[in-house]
């Protein structure tokens, strides 16, 4: 399989980009990865990159986006930060990927057994980890269905917070980036959430209702005003 060119990237819609990722994950979990000549792809991409997707994922060593979506060199613009936090710098990277490199989709990819989420649940503090976990802390408060045992030893609570954190970081992307918000409105890109199961390798994409999504966009418009 060849690396993407500007011409092939231009033929990809946000919906098709999502389909490529779903198909890649299916290959991954079935151990049917595409045969790629990686050294040839190095040569193909030496003068430029044309990633069709951008993934904001956790730094966890088990969650390499290129592997779990069975993609090659130049296919994915990968932004990794513990807890898949949409910091200002992470969002700036995503803006670069979409506006200037032509990515068609952003996936905010959380995962099960996330240490950063567990740390936020326990209000863990230590050095520069503290301000990082503060970016996840609102997701802990967003999870209101758990009234007891709100700590990292409660796996059900951790998973619920992890889901809320994906939504939180999507909201942060809209709030921080009028550029990406406008590209989403114009249909140039899509922004979706996903959960990677470290036990099975399966990525489940999260459907966020139109009403909620419209609310996120309205909030972003308000923040940008």
Mean predicted confidence (pLDDT) in 133-142: 98
| Token pair listed for 129 | 């980890």
At 84-114, the pLDDT tens digits run: 999 999 999 999 999 999 999 999 999 999 9
CA distance 178 to 124: 32
CA distance 121 to 119: 5
Q: For helices 178-185 and 155-176, what crossing angle results, to 10°?
A: 90
Does pTM top 0.75 for this prediction?
A: yes
Indicate if the pLDDT at residue 143 is higher than 80.
yes
At 28-45, the pLDDT tens digits run: 999 998 888 888 888 888
């Amino acid at each position: 399989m060849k690396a993407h060119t500007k011409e092939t990237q231009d033929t990809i819609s946000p919906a098709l980009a999502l389909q490529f990722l779903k198909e890649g994950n299916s290959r991954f979990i079935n151990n049917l990865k595409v045969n790629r000549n990686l050294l040839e792809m190095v040569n193909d991409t030496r003068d430029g990159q044309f990633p069709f997707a951008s993934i904001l994922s956790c730094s966890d060593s088990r969650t390499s986006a290129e592997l779990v979506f069975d993609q090659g060199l130049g296919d994915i613009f990968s932004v990794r930060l513990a807890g898949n936090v949409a910091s200002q710098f992470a969002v700036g990277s995503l803006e670069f990927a979409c506006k200037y490199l032509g990515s068609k989709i952003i996936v905010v990819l959380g995962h099960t057994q996330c240490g950063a989420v567990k740390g936020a649940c326990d209000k863990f503090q230590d050095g520069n980890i503290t301000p990082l976990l503060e970016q996840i802390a609102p997701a802990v408060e967003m999870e209101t269905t758990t009234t007891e045992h709100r700590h990292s030893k409660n796996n059900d609570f951790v998973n619920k917070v992890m889901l809320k954190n994906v939504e939180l970081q999507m909201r942060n992307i809209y709030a921080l980036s009028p550029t990406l918000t406008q590209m989403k409105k114009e249909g140039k890109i899509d922004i979706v959430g996903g959960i990677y199961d470290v036990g099975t390798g399966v990525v489940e994409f999260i459907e966020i209702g139109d009403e909620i999504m419209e609310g996120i966009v309205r909030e972003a418009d308000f923040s940008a005003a």
